């Protein structure tokens, strides 16, 4: 097999591969910076919880319109926002911490979503909802993912400085009169809409994969916030491209192949990145002789 046949021909010959690649590029563009901010705010597991929280809304959209990405995406957006708002409100009004409320709501949402899909759909339909069908993505879904990426960057341009300040020094932000609660809710909304974009491509169970794994890789390689955002987007794009190629040539499921490719890059980074294990093993202590 020539290099062209391996690296280029699948995208050159098949429209569904080109559409899947475009969706991965748009998803990485929006999810990259959001994942980095989630990681810096120590909210990585909140992203995972919200990725499951969209399932009931997506399931209701499936019951109404079948495997229609706009309908399922709209339902997932509403469900994710409701869970995010309820979790934040409950954590403020009770003794429960936000991680506990998110865990409770996401487990409830996951169970409810699976039950709703099983009421009318088949096991195949449930697998489509849970694990995505990126190779079947259409032009409307690509436009939706691209719109979400555009809205993400526009929103981050407006609140980037206070979001970064809250990551590193929330007390200072409160002292200067920053609207932490409003910005926090806006940030949660950005997380939800990017998870909806991920749901369009990778399904509800793996939507967070291209959001958090590239962010973890970026933290190992980059030392500045801008560098982490750029590395995270690059890892997401590389994972999408390589994962699609692997799934095409090896006849594997595309969504898991993409996420596992990102995981492989993370493992390699653990060994060779400046912030990885190798540096700590082979770098002598500063005062050692």
Give the mean model confidence (pLDDT) for residues 103-111. 84
Q: What is the pLDDT of residue 240?
A: 94
Is residue 82 scored above 90 in pLDDT?
Answer: no
Does 288 score more than 70 pLDDT? no
Which residue, 106, 117, 138, is CA-closest to 23?
A: 138
Sole residue written with tokens 């936000």: 98
pLDDT given at position 285: 59
Confidence at residue 148, expressed as pLDDT on a 0 to 100 scale: 92
Q: Is the pLDDT of residue 120 over 80?
A: no
Which region among 126-130, 151-155, 204-208 has the lowest average model confidence (pLDDT)? Answer: 126-130
Ranges of H-type helices in 169-208 = 170-175, 180-202
Task: Say yes or no to pLDDT of 178 above 60.
Answer: no
Q: Can you tell me the mean pLDDT for 105-121?
A: 81
Mean pLDDT of the chain: 84
- pLDDT, one tens digit per residue, over 213-262 is 999 999 999 999 999 999 999 999 999 999 999 999 999 988 889 999 99
First and final CA of the chain: distance in angstroms?
53
The pLDDT value given to residue 125: 65
| 142: nearest Cα among 90, 71, 201 | 201
Average pLDDT over residues 45-64: 83
Question: Which residues have a Cβ under 8 Å from the Cβ of 59 and sit 6 or more positions away?
Answer: 72, 75, 112, 113, 114, 116, 117, 129
Q: What are the structural domains, with CATH classification, of the chain? A: 3-271 (1.10.3470.10)
């Amino acid at each position: 097999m020539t290099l062209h046949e391996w690296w280029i021909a699948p995208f050159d010959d098949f429209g569904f591969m080109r559409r899947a690649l475009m969706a991965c590029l748009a998803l990485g563009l929006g999810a990259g910076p959001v994942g980095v901010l989630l990681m810096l705010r120590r909210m990585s597991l909140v992203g995972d919880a919200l990725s499951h929280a969209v399932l009931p809304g997506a399931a209701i959209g499936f019951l109404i319109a079948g495997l229609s990405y706009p309908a399922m995406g709209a339902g997932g957006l509403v469900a994710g926002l409701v869970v995010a708002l309820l979790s934040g409100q409950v954590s403020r009004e009770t003794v429960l911490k936000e991680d506990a409320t998110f865990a409770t709501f996401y487990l409830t949402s996951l169970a409810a979503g699976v039950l709703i899909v099983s009421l009318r759909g088949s096991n195949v339909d449930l697998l489509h909802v849970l694990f995505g069908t990126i190779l079947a993505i259409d032009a409307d879904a690509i436009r939706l993912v691209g719109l979400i990426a555009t809205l993400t960057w526009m929103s981050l341009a407006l609140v980037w400085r206070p979001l970064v300040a809250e990551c590193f020094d929330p007390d200072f932000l409160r002292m200067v009169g920053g609207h932490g609660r409003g910005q926090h809710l806006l940030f949660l909304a950005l997380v939800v809409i990017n998870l909806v974009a991920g749901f369009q491509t990778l399904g509800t169970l793996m939507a967070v994969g291209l959001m958090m794994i590239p962010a973890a890789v970026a933290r190992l390689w980059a030392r500045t916030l801008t560098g982490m955002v750029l590395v995270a987007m690059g890892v997401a794009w590389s994972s999408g491209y390589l994962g699609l190629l692997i799934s095409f040539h090896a006849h594997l499921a595309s969504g898991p192949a993409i996420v596992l490719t990102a995981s492989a890059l993370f493992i390699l980074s653990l060994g060779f990145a400046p912030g990885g294990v190798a540096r700590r093993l082979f770098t002598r202590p500063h005062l050692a002789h």
